[in-house]
Amino acid sequence: MPSQRHYSPVDRLLLQADAALRTLVPNSSHASRPSPALVEPHSALDAEQTRHIAGLMRINHTGEVCAQALYQGQALTASLPHIREQMEHAAEEEVDHLVWCEQRIRELGSHTSLLNPLFYGLSFAIGASAGAISDKVSLGFVAATEDQVCKHLDDHLQQIPSSDRKSRAILEQMRIDEEEHATSALDAGGYRFPAPIKFGMSLMAKVMTSSTYRI
């Protein structure tokens, strides 16, 4: 059985820089799973529907940018090797969501958020800080974040017309994956954040969603 490679701190910083570039540079990431939208038919959308759906998908794309940064930051400072591996694996799964959302945004004739570098930096710092405190807090932050994401996805699924089966298929699969990530984080020993902290996280999420809907 081959031995596991051990990375030096410099190696890990270079890997983090590579992950950041692949997250932020358009069309530079590749999904491991095909988009659920591929098997769904095209639907006729008017200009207002197209604009609104593109805005919602832009929010979800930025959410995945934040997820990538959060997981990468946590992996950098995680104490236990298996926790670091779990964070890195979760980040790989989130790449699928990132690519699917970007593809759908392009199909709708729109663009990803210009604020993504800012939100990536903030999320990376939060993830690294949580990992530095403890793995238990880091996992708990994952669970609380994924819970917020699921709520946003539920809200967006209510807003997207039933006729837009492509966008709905993407969000429905994302909803399944995000819930699994939250459950896995708690099962691994994550701290259950109290309601006041979750409320503060929801306020921060509103800042992100309101700004990236248009920008």
Per the annotation, where are the binding residues for Fe cation?
A: 64, 94, 97, 146, 178, 181
Q: State the Cα torsion 88-70-32-101 to the nearest 10°.
A: 180
Binding site as annotated, residues:
64, 94, 97, 146, 178, 181
List of residues 6+ apart from 181 with CB closer than 8 A: 90, 93, 142, 146
Q: Which two tokens stand for residue 150?
A: 């699921």
Q: Cβ(144)–Cβ(169) under 8 Å?
A: no
Dump the DSSP string for 131-173: HHH-HHHHHHHHHHHHHHHHHHHHHHHHHS-TT-HHHHHHHHH
